[in-house]
Chains A and B, each alone.
Chain A
Amino acid sequence: MSQSSVEQVPLTALQGITADAWQEISRACEEPDWVRDLRQKAWEAYVETPLPTLRDEDWRRTDYRELQLEDLLLYMPAGIEAACEADLPESLRSHSETGDDWGGMVVQVNSEIALTRLDETLQAQGVILAPLAQAVHTHPELVQPHLGRIVTPDDGKFPALHGAFFSGGIFCYVPPDTTVELPIQALVWMNAENIAVFPHVLLVADRGSQVTFVERYASPTLEAQSFSCPATEVVAKDGAQVRHVTIQDWGRHVIELGFQRLRVDNDGHLLTILAATGGKLVKNYVDNSFAGSGVEAFHRGFFFTDGTQHMDYKTMQDHLAPYSTSDLLIKGALRDRSRAVFTGVINVRKGSKRTDAYQENRNLLLSKRARSDSIPILEIDNDDVRCTHGSATGQVDQEELFYVMAHGLNKNDAARMLVEGFFSEVIQHTPLDGVQAQLAGKVQEKMAGWQVED
């Protein structure tokens, strides 16, 4: 393809995964050379990496061949101008407004940032919250050391694709020894069909800082397919305390293939919450990388599938240094003919002595036609460690059901109570009351119309 043919194609009509297409995005954003170089390297990796197929161990349970990547528009403007949250459409605000008091809010609509707001108190503390496309110009010294280096093109075909095509994007920086009292929310909203979005979140919590950050992916449900290929990079530097919440609530037309990596340095504290309820077909890597020693990491998450949803989450507790502790619990419930795959990896690298890692996955099959796979993987290259895992999948327990029914609740109400309790054990760790109530409400919503099977 020649240079001249590209210039006739407006950004809004970009279609087809080609070098010209990402170059057009880069050009339109007037990116510095180093960002363009990142895209170039990612593109090269993308071209060299074969598409994962059902023959790859990691992909053999998730068939994404329905994804029609070549037919999707690769850049879609926000089409929304918002000076403040009140200007945002009601459908979007029904997600972002939780009753919690937000210190900062960034909203990406499709491929563009529609709103960035940061409280003056946080600005005065030196906190930065900005569109990534802007931050690469204004704060290269903070962005360049991390962008594309936490999640890299080597992480796979889709991280590489993301690296070449990312657009919009959110950058958040918390200066050393700064405690951000109010939480920050990044919302990625998609309101068009037949599009592909490549949202990027880069959160850098500098030494000794504290921050609560919520990432939310949501959209209405539309007819035709849309594709989300996000990447999240989180860096918690020495002694930082990061509370990170990911809420995946896409509409039922969305295919998502995403990658998250959270790197924690010496003595960092990490709390993560994952809540996945949306999408048509979703596969996400959630990679927790304990690069420093003395890390304490606590992970809680849930997924809830219904209809014909397919969700595939692979978590990693990657212990690269000694004396760190990680504790992960993921719970899942499956309704109807839905399907879920959970793979939990604990990786204790050589030299990571005194690692204490725990992983548990519990799944509840709410229908005989639903299917779930739970795959624990322990890779331990060390002696002096403690690693344990547990996995259990089953239906609503008959004895528990009888116990609750004996207290006056009919079978469905009793089962609902048990399912809500099942999730509440995870949701209760969510740091924000409003978000916590919202997630509990989401579980109730997913239970609507459900009848316990005999």
Chain B
Amino acid sequence: MLEAVCGAFVLIISGDAKLIEIVALSLKVSLSAVVFASLLALPLGAAVAVARFPGRKAIVVLLNALMGLPPVVVGLVVYLLLSRAGPLGSFGLLFTPPAMIVAQTILILPIIAALARQSVEDAWLEYQEQLRSLGVSGVPAALTLLWDIRYSLLTAVLAGLGRASAEVGAVMIVGGNIDGVTRVMTTTIALETSKGDLPLALSLGIVLILLVLALNAAAYVVKDAAQRKYG
């Protein structure tokens, strides 16, 4: 145990090339997924919060339920879509980083959308009369709300990032955990642990936790500063 911990720190401090490659790919995949998911989920969440249409409650329930989407199921569905015989097989994306980005985007989109919907809806309760009095409704109202609570939405985006960087099932299935191509932190930890290479697994675990911690701390600082500046 102690040996494994020491080994892990040696790998981290020495800047092991393999370690860095795996961490870099993980960040690339998960951050890309967060960007794509946010671009879709934030407007979607705002629209559901502001608009009133038949079936709206069903969509709210669906979004909330999909927050608990099992990563392996998402992986399986994306696998079926992207496999040679699947409808999107001709793109040849299976077992590539783009496939992993697609899977993680699908996985975290409901999380970001559901949390954004809640934040925007709370703000809408406060702003609604004033905005309607000024003649602002529909899409402009939703955009105004999104912009006005942008720092609160960081929390929703971070929840998505946390989920994406921590999940192992979806990237394992659609990425295939190919050494040097689609191997990310979580899949490597799973593999190396079963192989018995504990120092590498442990060092990746430490890096993963430190990254998540650092991102959350940065977001907290930004949000706190914005809160004090804008009220």
A and B physically associate: no
